[in-house]
Amino acid sequence: MNSVLGKVVDAVMIDENDHDYFVQPARNGQTYRLPKDESPQALHIGGSVRGFVYENENHQLQMTCQHIPTIQVDHYDFGTVVGVRRDLGVFVDIGLPNKDIVVSLDDLPSLKRLWPQKGDRLMMALKVDEKNRIWGQLADEGVFEAIANRPDPRMKNKDVKATVYRLKMAGTFAITDDYCLGFIHPSERDQEPRLGQQVSARVIGLSSHGSLNLSLKPRAYQAIGEDAQMLLEMLRRTPDHTLPFTDKSDPEKIRQEFGISKGQFKRAVGHLLKARLVSMVNGKLILIKDPDDE
Average pLDDT over residues 85-112: 96
Average pLDDT over residues 190-208: 94
CA 54 to CA 273: how far, in whole Å? 62
Higher pLDDT, residue 82 or 153: 82
Grade residue 223 by pLDDT with cuts at 50, 70 and 90: low
Average pLDDT over residues 50-64: 95
Grade residue 208 by pLDDT with cuts at 50, 70 and 90: confident
Closest CA to 201 of 192, 187, 220, 188: 188
CA 253 to CA 248: how far, in whole Å? 11
pLDDT at 35: 96
Q: End-to-end distance of the chain based on CA atoms, in angstroms?
A: 57
pLDDT at 220: 59
Mean pLDDT of the chain: 92
Is the predicted pLDDT of residue 121 greater than 80, yes or no? yes
pLDDT at 221: 55
Centroid of chain to Cα 146: 18
Provide, rounded to the nearest whole percent, the portion of the chain with pLDDT above 70: 96
- What does pTM read for this prediction? 0.75
pLDDT at 3: 86
**pLDDT, tens digit, 9 for 90 and up, residues 64-88:** 999 999 999 999 999 999 999 999 9
Domains of the chain: 8-64 (2.40.50.330), 77-139 (2.40.50.140), 148-215 (2.40.50.140), 221-293 (1.10.10.10)
pLDDT at 191: 93
Is the predicted pLDDT of residue 95 greater than 90, yes or no? yes
CA 211 to CA 149: how far, in whole Å? 9
